[in-house]
Amino acid sequence: MNLELQQFKADFYKALAHPMRIRILEVLCEGDKNVNEIQAIIGSEGSAVSQQLSVLRNKNVVYGSKEGTTVVYSLRDPLVKDLLQVTKQIFDNHLVGTISLLESMRASEQ
């Protein structure tokens, strides 16, 4: 079981390992969107957005539901929003640490 969980985690993080996929997830955190809406928000070509949505869909991170002729995408699990928030907090902590280090280096040079 532990190996299966580790494989799930690795596959899940691989699905997130692209800046456009992260941006798409951030957009979907704000609510369900179709490809055209996502494309307009992130300012990218529809084919690129569709390709990245396909990766996220295949890894069960998002799902699409048909509304007429349009597919509307949603987060499969709302905890993805929390994960992105925690990731931002980790980045912010890293940034604060880097700024503190630079300030210490500047102070020791003077």
**Region of 60 on the Ramachandran plot (φ > 0 left; ψ -120 to 50 alpha; else beta):** left
* CA–CA distances in Å: residue 32 to residues 14, 25, 53, 93, 107: 23, 10, 13, 30, 49
How far apart CA 74 and CA 34 sit, in angstroms, is: 9
- Per-residue confidence (pLDDT) for residue 1, from 0 to 100: 67
Classified by CATH at the fold level, domain 1-76 comes out as Arc Repressor Mutant, subunit A (1.10.10)
pTM for the model: 0.83
The 10s digit of each residue's pLDDT in 25-38 is: 999 999 999 999 99
The 10s digit of each residue's pLDDT in 61-82 is: 999 999 999 999 999 999 999 9
Give the start-to-end residue ranges of the domains of the chain.
Answer: 1-76, 78-110
